[in-house]
Amino acid sequence: MTQLSAAQNKPSDGSKALYGGKGTRRITVRDIALAKERGEKWPMLTAYDAMTASVFDEAGIPVILVGDSAGNCHLGYDTTVPVTLDEMSMLSAAVVRGTQRALIVGDLPFGSYQEGPVQALRSATRLVKEAGVGAVKLEGGERSHEQIRLLVESGIPVMAHIGLTPQSVHAMGYRVQGRGEEAAQQLLRDAKAVQDAGAFAVVLELVPAELAAEVTRVLHIPTVGIGAGPETDAQVLVWTDMLGLTSGRVPKFVKKYADLREVMGDAVKAFAEDVVGGGFPREEHSVH
């Protein structure tokens, strides 16, 4: 177990930062808390399989979310709503196996915690014991504070998620949250509720940048923005969006860092043309 030096406020194993730090020791929620004290920003990405997660882990991404966005980005559903706990457990276990350093956060899917704290604990325990995640995430502010409290009391770190909560798409749509004085006050109450319940971080999804900045100043736990402007402590994107693999429309807050759909499509067509035209396999790909 690596000792943390309170005086330096740094991990004492030589790693300087969540991103850019060294070593393969698993990052913990304690490391996340210290990053906020240092005023350090950090990146988070989703992943749904071991291979992709290993790329992000080797690139130094300190926190990987096994998002229920797997529903529409990996499993072919239209939304996150149909995703099951069995599916999340299987995908989360793969991401844990593919990584050494990143803190792995498993999303609790719709229907696996809404019944109450006991159901939430049963579901989160499965992700911790079967999949090996270091933390879980669930949606909702004031409405989920009892679930968060019991999980944290039971020893399971919780990342909260407020603002746009996609599991409620049939009730709220995919609309910006926290616009107007009343909605802004509700978002601030939600943020304080999850902090008071013991969450170690909170995702702010699709909220005005000024409001996300205010929440980030008011809270002592880190905020993780997605469509929430530049002032949050961390930023998260869905990996298939930022690498250009998502089919169809992506939210406007996404920055596309590569076009893997084009790269993969071109490569697959080159293979197909080789097969049809006799360009593959050649002598060097053959055995005798």
Ligand X SMILES: CC(C)C(=O)C(=O)O
Ligand Y SMILES: Nc1nc(=O)c2c([nH]1)NC[C@@H]1CN(c3ccc(C(=O)N[C@@H](CCC(=O)O)C(=O)O)cc3)CN21
Instruction: Report, as residue numbers or ranges, the catalytic residues.
Output: 205
How many residues sit in the footprint of ligand Y (CB under 6 A)? Answer: 16
The site map against ligand Y for 147-186 (x = CB under 6 A) is -----------------x-x-------xxx----------
Q: What residue has token string 């995908």?
A: 91
Pick one of Mg ion, ligand Y, ligand X, none as the site partner of residue 94 (Cβ within 5 to 8 A by kind).
none
Q: Judged by CB under 6 A, does residue 236 bind ligand X?
A: yes
Q: Judged by CB under 6 A, does residue 73 bind ligand Y?
A: yes
DSSP 8-state code for residue 27: P
Are the C-beta atoms of 88 and 126 separated by less than 8 Å? no
CA distances from 140 to 16, 98, 256 (A): 33, 29, 28
CA distances from 43 to 64, 77, 125, 166 (A): 9, 27, 26, 21
* Min dist. Cβ of residue 179 to Mg ion (A): 22
Q: Judged by CB under 6 A, does residue 212 bind ligand X?
A: no
* Min dist. Cβ of residue 59 to ligand X (A): 18
Q: Judged by CB under 6 A, does residue 241 bind ligand Y?
A: yes
R_g of the chain computed on alpha carbons = 20
Pick one of ligand X, Mg ion, ligand Y, none as the site partner of residue 250 (Cβ within 5 to 8 A by kind).
ligand Y
Q: Judged by CB under 5 A, does residue 117 bind Mg ion?
A: no
* Min dist. Cβ of residue 251 to ligand Y (A): 4
235 contacts: CB under 8 Å, gap ≥ 6: 41, 43, 44, 224, 225, 226
Pick 34 or 203: Cβ nearer ligand Y: 203
Work out which of 11, 21, 67, 222 binds Mg ion, going by CB under 5 A. Answer: 67
107 is in an annotated binding site: yes
CA distances from 185 to 74, 156, 216 (A): 35, 29, 14
68 is in an annotated binding site: yes
Tell me which stretch binds ligand X (CB under 6 A): 8-16, 27-35, 62-70, 247-255. 62-70
Closest CA to 236 of 225, 250, 251, 252: 225
Q: Judged by CB under 6 A, does residue 251 bind ligand Y?
A: yes
Tell me which stretch binds ligand Y (CB under 6 A): 50-58, 107-115, 127-135, 246-254. 246-254
Read out DSSP for 104-170? EEEEPPTTSSTT-HHHHHHHHHHIIIII--SEEEEE-SGGGHHHHHHHHHTT--EEEEEES-GGGHH
3-state secondary structure of 76: coil
Number of H helices, E strands in the chain: 11, 10
Work out which of 68, 87, 214, 233 binds Mg ion, going by CB under 5 A. Answer: 68
Pick 107 or 233: Cβ nearer Mg ion: 107
Q: Judged by CB under 5 A, does residue 241 bind Mg ion?
A: no
Calpha distance 21→35 (Å, rounded)? 12
Residue ranges in contact with Mg ion by CB under 5 A: 67-68, 107
Residue ranges in contact with ligand Y by CB under 6 A: 69, 72-73, 80, 164, 166, 174-176, 206, 238, 241, 246, 250-252
